[in-house]
Each structure stands twice: as C-alpha cells, then as structure tokens.
C-alpha cells in the first residue's frame, strides 16, 4: 500500500477523451502482496504512576501485517491501460469504521498522457514523498505499517495516545491521516524529471482521535455505515455536512528525479487543505466551551530532498500539520505540529543498513491534561479531576481556576517527540528479506500524560509476492 516510489506515468485528462475502443484482451486478475512479521523486545515507560497504579506491558510480543493484492488490467487498442486493484487485509484492524477486511480498492487508467486513480486510495501527495530513507521494513518515514507503543497512538492508557506530536514520528509526508478515503488522484507524465499529482476527496473522517491529544475533542459522525469520508473501501449511500468532519480535501504535490553522473537527486514538495464542517446541533463535540479547544480547517505541507551516490542515500524532509485543530479560543495559541526527518542508508549487494531520526513539536495551545489515577485492573487513566473525561471541567469557561490553575489545571508548553531508528535488511532470495533493527522514542511535555520513553529491538522477515 505504502510505496516510496510512484510510477512515472500519470494523468492528463485528454488521454481518456477518445472514442470507445475494444481491449485486445479481457482483464485477468493476478495476485500479489506482502507479509511482514517481527519479534519485538521492548520497554515502555511513562511518567504517570499514581496511587500505585500504572499501565504495564509485556516485554516480548509479536507484530504482523500483510495484504493480498488482487490486480487486473487490460490495454485498450489506443494504448491506454485500464485496471482494478483490491487489497485484502492479512490481519484484522478491528475498527468497523475503517472496514476491517479490505484496505484499498480502486480503478486506475494510465498511458502516455498520465495516470488517474478513482476509489479508496492514498493521496498522491502522500506517495510522491522523497526524504529520509529507511531499511527497517514497515517502519521508516512513510512505510509505517507498525508502531511500538501503540498502533499510531490509539492504544488506551498509553502516553503516546495523549502526546499530539507523536503522530509525526511515524509519518513525515503529507496527508498522513487522510489515507484510503474515497478520492480521485490525477498525475501528469514525468517531463524532464518533473511530475505533478493532484487529488480531491469529498469528505474526510478521522478515526485517530489521538491526533487531538487529551483535549476531549472528537470528530466525525461516529461509526455510521454508509457515510463517506472513512478510510477503507466503503460503499457509501450519502455524504452529509455539518457533522464535525472535513469536507472537500484537496492536495497537490510535485517531485523531481534526475541523475548527474554517479549522483542521483530527488526532490519533493506538497500542500493540502480541507475545510471543517461543524455540527450545528452539537457544537460541544467540535469545541470545548470550557478549555477553548476547537477543531477547524485542516492545513498541511511537506518538502523533502534526497541524494544518492554509489550505494549511499542521504535525505531529509520538513513539514507542518495543524492536525485539523484551530487556535485555542482563550489562549490564542495554535495546536500545529512542525516536524522533520533525516536519514542515511547504505546498500551493497543484498544488504541495506540505515539510521533515521524523526522529530516533531506541537505548540499545544489547548494544553495538556494530567493523569490523576489508573483504575486497578485496567489501563484506562483518569484525567485531571473530571472522572476521566478530558476537557470537561466545572466553572466559568476560560476563567475558572480548575482550568488554568490549581490541582486539576491544564498544563501549557510544547509537546515534543523524537524517534531514533537503526534498521537493516538482507535479501536471502527473490522477495524474501530478513529484517531487524532498534528503536528509541522519547516524548516530552508539560504533564505526565504526554511524557515517556520507549525502546525496542526487532527481528523478523518480510515477504513480497
């Protein structure tokens, strides 16, 4: 699903504006895909331990992810290729709103005129990324199918859930949280090394509420079957507005590939925007009238540069993501994350070795909650003094001391996250690689809910077929 390279063909609209033609051969379906497995030895340590209660984790566990891809295409007599791609999950994400069985499913067409994709598909500006390289398969700056500590920060009771900067230590590219929604992607042909991609999604619902940290904010209409905007290959019956989701998501990206003697150069830049559509009937889910936290129009951009020379690849990227949150009503500060990544990879024969750093900082205009306790026998923390419901305090909005001062106050100051990754893989046969490495993740901020460290050692195997 997530690939560093984008095929060099893309769409110019005139390519399909031809009289109907018959294909030389009917569509035939082929099977491909991947499966990656890791044995992980890890330690996760958070800064909250109240009343003798703390969330604990087993030090050894297994990770797996795989997909089976059903791909079929045919070439029309005018040279245009038309096809379909359906990706069956090889594991169970277990989230109904994201459709646990099928990942991506889309139609595509390409030719000398370019390429078009329609359906459940990652945005072009996500896949056109060039920046920090990685040899740790399934991790890295873009191919992040795994996460140690939580599944992209959604595990309950884990400090990664509350730290708003954490997400961008798993993804350094654009539209990272907009994956797999129903959309159209259009790409130009590559001309003199340049290629442009643009995309449009009618609606975007975000299942990762942890993007908002411990603010108590939620988005979207909830788990509603048949409503557009969810990640996954859903078949929708309507596309409502005014339900705390983002509408009319637009993204544009360009990259450049060239070679000068033994030196290769790749550059990347992208921008994306989606307008927020609040609910007129239940404003509290989009904005906290007590803490001043709110959702708003989504803006993000990313840019990267990569150089290669005789087996050595060096690259990095920077980016900005307001994560769909507007400036706080009372503090006036934004909640945007600024992020960067840098890495070096060495390849010789069947061996790849890399070192990667990713760092991010969130302005934290909404403030950070504090973990007061963890109920015995659970890993669900109680936040501040309000029975675990973040952002729901008593008192006058923006004035009461229990919000900005006192024992249950919101804590202000930047939230940060840094990841250091050492990776290696070795090809032992066609499509078969041994892979492994080490991770160290450090998160900081003004409260115990967003501060902690994780380290992990990984060893596994990656199959491509």
Count of domains observed in the chain: 1
- Asked if the structure places residue 446 within a domain, the reply is yes
pLDDT per position as a tens digit, 48-58: 544 444 555 66
Which parts of 157-316 fold into alpha helices (H)? 159-162
- pLDDT tens, 348-377? 999 999 999 999 999 998 888 777 766 666
State the average pLDDT over residues 365-394: 60
SS3 268: strand
**How many Cα atoms within 13 Å fall on the side-chain side of residue 203?**
22
At 14, phi and psi to the nearest 5?
-65, -15
The angle at the Cα of 254, spanning 340 to 79, to the nearest 5 degrees, equals 140
Does 15 reside within a domain?
no
Residue 3 belongs to some domain of the structure:
no
Most distant pair of Cα atoms in the chain: their distance: 75
157 belongs to a structural domain: yes
Give the C-alpha separation, 184 to 275, whole Å. Answer: 17
Confidence class for position 154, pLDDT limits 50, 70, 90 = very low
Residues 119-151 pLDDT 10s:
999 999 999 999 999 999 999 998 777 777 653
Q: Does residue 34 lie in a domain region?
A: yes
Looking at residue 406, what is its pLDDT? 53
**Sign of the CA dihedral running 323, 326, 329, 333:** positive
In a domain, 2, yes or no: no
The partner residues of 84 in beta bridges, in order of sequence, read 72, 107
Phi-psi region of 113 (alpha: psi -120 to 50; beta: other; left: phi over 0): alpha
Burial of 122 (0-12, 13-18, 19+ CB in 10 A): buried
Beta strands in 278-349 (DSSP E): 298-309, 312-321, 337-348
> Is residue 9 in a domain?
no
By the 8 A CB rule, do 342 and 134 touch?
no
Tell me the C-alpha distance between 237 and 371, whole Å.
41
- What is the rounded average pLDDT for all residues in the chain? 81
Asked if residues 418 and 340 have their Cβ atoms less than 8 Å apart, the reply is no
Distance CA 328, CA 295 (A): 9
List phi, psi (to 5°) of 161.
-70, -35
> What does the alpha-carbon distance between residue 20 and residue 48 come to, in Å, rounded to a whole number?
65
Q: How far apart are CA 327 and CA 324, in angstroms?
A: 10
Domain extent, residue 408, equals 30-464
Is the CB of residue 458 less than 8 Å from the CB of residue 441? no
Question: Average pLDDT, stretch 312-328?
Answer: 94
Asked if residue 17 is part of any domain, the answer here is: no
Q: How confident is the model at residue 275 (pLDDT cuts 50, 70, 90)?
A: very high
- Across the range 238-255, mean pLDDT stands at 92
Identify whether the C-beta of residue 222 lies closer than 8 Å to the C-beta of residue 248.
no
Question: For residue range 13-31, what is the model confidence (pLDDT) as tens digits?
Answer: 333 334 444 556 789 899 9
Region 423-448 average pLDDT:
94
CB-CB contact of 132 with 358 (8 Å)? yes
State the Cα–Cα distance between residues 217 and 235, nearest whole angstrom. 27
CA distance linking residue 175 with residue 426, whole number of Å: 31
Distance CA 27, CA 429 (A): 30
Q: In this structure, what CATH number is given to the domain that contains residue 438? A: 2.40.160.10
3-state secondary structure of 321: strand
């Amino acid at each position: 699903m997530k690939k560093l390279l984008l095929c060099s063909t893309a769409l110019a609209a005139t390519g399909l504006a031809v009289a109907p033609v018959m294909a030389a051969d009917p569509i035939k379906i082929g099977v491909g895909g991947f499966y990656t497995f890791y044995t992980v030895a890890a330690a996760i340590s958070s800064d909250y331990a109240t009343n003798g209660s703390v969330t604990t984790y087993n030090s050894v566990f297994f990770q797996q992810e795989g997909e089976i891809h059903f791909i079929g295409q045919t070439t029309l007599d005018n040279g245009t290729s038309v096809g379909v791609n359906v990706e069956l999950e090889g594991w169970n994400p277990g989230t109904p709103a994201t459709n646990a069985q099928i990942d991506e499913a889309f139609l595509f067409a390409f030719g000398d005129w370019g390429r078009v994709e329609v359906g459940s598909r990652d945005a072009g500006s996500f896949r056109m990324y060039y920046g920090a390289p990685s040899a740790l398969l399934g991790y890295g700056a873009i191919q992040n199918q795994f996460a140690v500590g939580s599944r992209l920060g959604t595990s309950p009771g884990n400090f990664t859930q509350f730290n708003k900067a954490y997400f961008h230590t798993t993804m350094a590219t654009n539209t990272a949280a907009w994956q797999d929604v129903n959309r159209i992607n259009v790409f130009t042909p590559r001309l003199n090394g340049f290629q442009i991609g643009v995309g449009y999604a009618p609606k975007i619902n975000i299942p990762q509420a942890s993007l908002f940290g411990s603010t108590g904010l939620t988005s979207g209409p909830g788990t509603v079957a048949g409503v557009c905007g969810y990640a996954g290959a859903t078949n929708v019956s309507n596309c409502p507005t005014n339900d705390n989701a983002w509408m009319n998501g637009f993204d544009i990206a360009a990259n450049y590939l060239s070679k000068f003697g033994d030196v290769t150069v790749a550059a990347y830049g992208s921008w994306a925007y989606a307008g927020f559509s609040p609910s007129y009937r239940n404003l509290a889910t989009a904005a906290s009238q007590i803490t001043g936290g709110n959702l708003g129009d989504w803006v993000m951009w990313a840019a990267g540069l990569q150089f290669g020379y005789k087996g050595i690849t060096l690259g990095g990227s920077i980016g900005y993501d307001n994560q769909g949150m507007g400036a706080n009503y009372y503090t006036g500060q934004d909640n945007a994350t600024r992020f960067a990544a840098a890495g070096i990879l060495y390849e010789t024969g069947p061996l790849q070795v890399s070192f990667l750093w990713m760092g991010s900082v969130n302005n934290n205009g909404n403030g950070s909650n504090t973990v007061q306790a963890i109920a015995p026998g659970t890993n669900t923390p109680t936040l501040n003094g309000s029975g675990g419901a973040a952002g729901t305090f008593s008192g006058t909005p923006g004035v009461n001391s229990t919000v900005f001062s006192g024992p249950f106050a919101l804590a202000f100051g930047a939230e940060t996250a840094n990841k250091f990754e050492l990776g290696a893989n070795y090809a032992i046969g066609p499509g078969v690689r041994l892979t492994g490495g080490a991770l160290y993740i450090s998160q900081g901020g003004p409260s115990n809910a967003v501060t902690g460290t994780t380290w992990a050692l990984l060893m596994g195997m990656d199959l491509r077929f």
